[in-house]
Each structure stands twice: as structure tokens, then as C-alpha cells.
């Protein structure tokens, strides 16, 4: 059985991700096969974790996955790993429900994984003891196996913290990481800057790795007796079968569009779909394909370059207008509108969707959503209630009055607080990020739609 631990904290922005990156790369340097997981609907942290570990990172989310789905995904992706690192979101006990059940602590218990608590020690000394004691007492089923003290100011500060923890608790201190500008990743409105936008990302990870190796007791971490869950796995995808006819799906994956759930991409391939990745900044034409998928990202950061690649804009628009089955999310939706305005500058985009995108200074839609399909939805077999998420600082204006929508928004914002999923030709464009789970098998629905269109063309 591989070793495993859950990296959590008392609150968000404690430095979990940077420490996770350093641990991943440090264990990788020891020739260990590291598998990472991220709790919740996060795209950016998993991209960084994948870069550091050398393996794709997978999301585990109580909101749209059952307990058995979470266990199944976790165990399946851990089969060949030497060590698993699960990075939490926010604080150890933070979740949607005041009664618990969906917090990091609950995920750690579900997966029977010991917790390593990262504590931002800024401005605290003896007070760290009641904080840790309180966390132990709050839920005695949680195994807080160690603590890593982050942003330690000095040797004297470190000594006071360790003395307090050793005197009042039985939690071992696994590391004391000094405050350093070298451990800071620039942030944007959704969190860290994506690794695909950071040219020196590998250099940064190397610096972090050296610091973590020097200031964290890796040998103690590896010595943990972390036994995996023996819970019975239930097949939650019995409704999904391998497709009979080979189809090709083109997927944008580059410095702009890189927000994809890894298990969604895996599901396409498990169905026998051939994926052709393309670069919206460099490629002049869309690959030969039967369907198109453009996920989320930050197109507002590359507007000039996207606009300059007119040949690809025209080619994609032409193919969509010729009824190429297409699904786009968030950043992909923005890319297909008439224009995007950011920092008082407007750039023309594809013009498939008759609306204009405006970047706002505050979040427009941020968090979990609940959707129900309208009777106009073009895919078959869509669930009556879809649980997913949205994260966007943009909004659409000048939307055509003839716009058709695939979803009613029961929770969240979507396109206009009432609807999401703009439909035109064989296009579905949504602000919502879908996750292929038992209650929302969108991958097979999209693949079946592609096959239906192909048959109609014969």
C-alpha cells in the first residue's frame, strides 16, 4: 500500500499549495511515484501539483460526487503510486454545512488518511498550542499526525512555537519554514497564477523543493503508517460504455485554455475517443475532428494574441456554423463571443455567440451551482439536476434576444442569473464547469450527440 497524507490548514492562504509543490517534487527526487489529489472544484492548484509530481492531479468533491465515487477515483489513481498527497481547500473544518459532512476533515476520514496541518505562524507564539489542541478536540476521529509551521519569522520565533507545541500537545512538529519571498506565487482573482502562464514555473518549483527539503522532516513523513481504506468499491459508471465508432475530439490546451478535470479527459479516452489537442495562440487551423471542446482559462490575459490569430478564429467559426458539435465552458464561452473588454481595451473575438464579454473588478459568479435542463437542451439523457461550479469575473452584455438556453439556474449566476448554456447551431456554451460524475455523465452525452450528428450527415 502506498503512503498517504492529507495536507490541510487552519484557514485558506496558509501556504498549503506551495508546501504541497515542494513535497511532491522532493519525493519525486527520491524516485518515488507521487500521486496528487485536490479537494473541491479547483483547476489552478491541480495544474501546479501535476507539474511538481509529474502525474496528473485529480479533484475530489463532495458537492457533485458520492462517497463511493470519491473512494473509487482515489483508489484507482493510487494503484501505482508510492505516496499520495491530498491537498485540502480552505481550513480543515471549513465546508458548506455548519454540521459538517463536506469539509476537509470529512474527506480525510472517508479516505482514512492522516492529516498534516500547515499553520501560518505569522504573529503567533504560545497561542499555537490552544489552536492545535482545539483542532484535536473538535473532532477526535481526525488523526492530526503532524504540523508544519509556515512563515516563521526567526530562530527565536521557531523556538517559542516548538516549545509551546511540545509542552501542551502531542503533535509532532515536522517542519518550520522560514518566511521567504522565494515561496510566493503571484495570485489572480481565482487564486494562484496558472503554471501554464508562468515561464519560470519549473525554476520556482526547484527553489521551493530545496527549501522544503531543508526545513521539513521528509523521513518522518515517509515513515507514517498510512493504511488505505478497504471500503468496497461500487461501479458508478455502469451507464457508460465504449463507443462503437471511432470519433475525434479537438481540445484547446495551451497558455490560455487549460482548465479541465483530468478524469473527464480520461473518460473520453476510456470511451475510445481520440483527443487532438491544439493551441489557440499558435495553430492556424482546427485539427480534423468530429467534435470540439474548449474549457476554461484566462483569455483576458492573451487578448491581443488571440485576436491576432485570425485564421484560427475564422476556421473555428466556420466549422461551428457548419454544425460541428461543440462544447465550451467559461473562458471558451468568452472566446466565442463578439468581443472581450478588459482594462478599457476591447478586442474582437470569434463572433459565434451574439454577445459581448466584459471583465469586472469583482466576482460575477463564484462557487457551486445547481442547474436543471430546459426542454431545449440538445443533448440526450441529461440529469434533472446538475451540481457543478462556476468561477468568473466576466459577464455578457448585449445578448441577442433570440438566444436559446440549455439550463435553468437554480443556484448560481450562469449567463444572466436565470439561464446558462447558450445554444446555437450544434454549440453548447456555458459559464458552468461540468464534472463527469454519476449524476452528470456529460462526457457520454456529448459523445452520443457527436455520433448522432455524424449519422445525420451520412
Residues annotated as catalytic (active site), given as ranges: 330
- Region of 26 (left: φ > 0; alpha: ψ -120 to 50; beta: rest) is alpha
Kind and range of the H or E run holding 299: none
- Cite the DSSP H helix spans in 348-397: none
3-state helix, strand, coil in the chain (%, to 5): 30, 30, 40
Task: Report how far residue 357's alpha carbon sits from residue 300's, in angstroms, rounded to the nearest whole number.
Answer: 10
Task: Report how far residue 376's alpha carbon sits from residue 386's, in angstroms, rounded to the nearest whole number.
Answer: 16
Q: Are the CB atoms for 41 and 63 separated by under 8 Å?
A: yes
Task: Report how far residue 351's alpha carbon sits from residue 217's, in angstroms, rounded to the nearest whole number.
Answer: 55
> Which strands sit side by side in the sheet containing 353-359, from one edge to the other?
345-348, 337-342, 353-359, 394-397
Kind and range of the H or E run holding 328: strand 326-329
Please give, one letter per residue, the 3-state secondary structure of 402-421: CCEEEEEEEECCCCCCCEEE
Rounded to 5 degrees, φ, ψ at 421 are 80, 75
Of residues 233, 265, 229, 227, the one with CA closest to residue 72: 233
Q: If you write DSSP's letter for every residue of 214-235 in order, what string do you get?
A: HHB-HHHHHT---PPP-PPP--
Angle at 10 between CA 7 and CA 14, to 5 degrees: 70
Of residues 255, 157, 191, the one with CA closest to residue 16: 191
Amino acid at each position: 500500500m502506498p503512503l498517504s497524507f492529507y495536507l490541510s490548514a487552519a484557514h485558506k492562504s496558509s501556504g498549503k499549495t506551495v508546501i504541497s509543490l515542494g513535497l511532491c517534487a522532493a519525493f519525486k527526487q527520491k524516485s518515488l511515484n507521487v500521486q496528487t489529489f485536490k479537494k473541491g472544484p479547483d483547476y489552478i492548484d491541480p495544474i501546479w501539483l501535476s507539474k511538481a509530481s509529474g502525474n496528473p492531479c485529480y479533484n475530489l468533491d463532495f458537492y457533485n460526487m458520492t462517497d463511493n465515487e470519491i473512494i473509487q477515483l482515489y483508489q484507482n489513481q493510487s494503484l501505482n503510486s508510492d505516496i499520495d498527497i491530498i491537498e485540502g481547500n480552505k481550513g480543515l473544518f471549513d465546508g458548506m454545512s455548519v454540521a459538517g459532512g463536506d469539509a476537509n476533515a470529512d474527506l480525510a476520514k472517508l479516505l482514512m488518511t492522516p492529516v498534516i496541518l500547515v499553520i501560518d505562524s505569522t504573529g503567533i507564539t504560545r497561542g499555537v498550542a490552544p489552536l492545535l489542541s482545539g483542532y484535536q478536540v473538535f473532532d477526535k476521529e481526525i488523526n492530526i499526525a503532524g504540523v508544519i509551521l509556515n512563515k516563521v519569522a526567526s530562530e527565536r520565533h521557531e523556538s517559542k512555537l516548538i516549545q509551546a507545541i511540545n509542552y501542551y500537545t502531542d503533535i509532532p512538529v515536522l517542519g518550520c519554514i522560514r518566511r521567504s519571498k522565494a515561496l510566493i506565487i503571484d495570485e489572480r482573482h481565482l487564486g494562484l497564477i496558472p503554471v501554464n502562464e508562468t515561464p519560470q514555473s519549473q525554476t520556482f518549483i526547484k527553489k521551493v523543493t530545496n527549501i522544503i527539503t531543508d526545513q521539513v522532516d521528509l523521513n518522518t513523513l515517509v515513515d507514517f503508517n498510512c493504511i488505505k481504506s478497504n471500503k468496497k468499491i461500487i461501479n458508478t459508471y455502469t451507464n457508460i460504455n465504449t463507443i462503437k465508432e471511432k470519433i475525434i475530439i479537438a481540445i484547446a490546451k495551451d497558455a490560455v485554455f487549460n482548465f479541465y478535470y483530468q478524469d473527464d479527459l480520461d473518460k473520453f479516452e476510456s470511451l475510445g475517443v481520440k483527443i487532438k489537442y491544439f493551441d489557440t495562440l499558435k495553430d492556424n487551423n482546427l485539427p480534423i475532428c468530429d467534435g470540439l471542446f474548449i474549457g476554461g482559462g484566462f483569455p483576458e490575459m492573451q487578448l491581443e494574441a488571440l485576436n491576432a490569430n485570425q485564421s484560427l478564429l475564422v476556421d473555428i467559426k466556420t466549422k461551428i456554423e457548419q454544425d460541428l458539435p461543440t462544447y465550451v465552458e467559461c473562458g471558451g464561452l468568452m472566446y466565442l463571443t463578439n468581443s472581450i473588454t478588459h482594462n478599457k481595451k476591447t478586442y474582437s473575438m470569434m463572433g459565434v455567440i451574439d454577445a459581448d464579454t466584459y471583465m469586472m473588478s469583482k466576482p460575477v459568479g463564484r462557487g457551486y451551482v445547481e442547474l436543471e435542463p430546459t426542454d431545449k437542451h440538445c443533448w440526450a439523457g441529461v440529469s434533472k439536476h446538475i451540481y457543478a461550479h462556476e468561477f468568473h469575473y466576466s459577464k455578457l452584455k448585449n445578448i441577442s434576444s433570440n438566444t436559446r438556453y440549455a439550463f435553468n439556474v437554480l443556484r448560481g449566476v450562469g449567463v444572466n442569473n436565470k439561464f446558462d448554456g447558450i445554444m446555437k447551431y450544434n454549440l453548447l456554451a456555458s459559464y458552468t464547469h461540468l464534472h463527469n460524475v454519476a449524476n452528470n455523465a456529460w462526457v457520454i452525452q456529448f459523445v452520443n450527440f457527436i455520433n448522432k450528428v455524424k449519422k445525420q450527415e451520412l
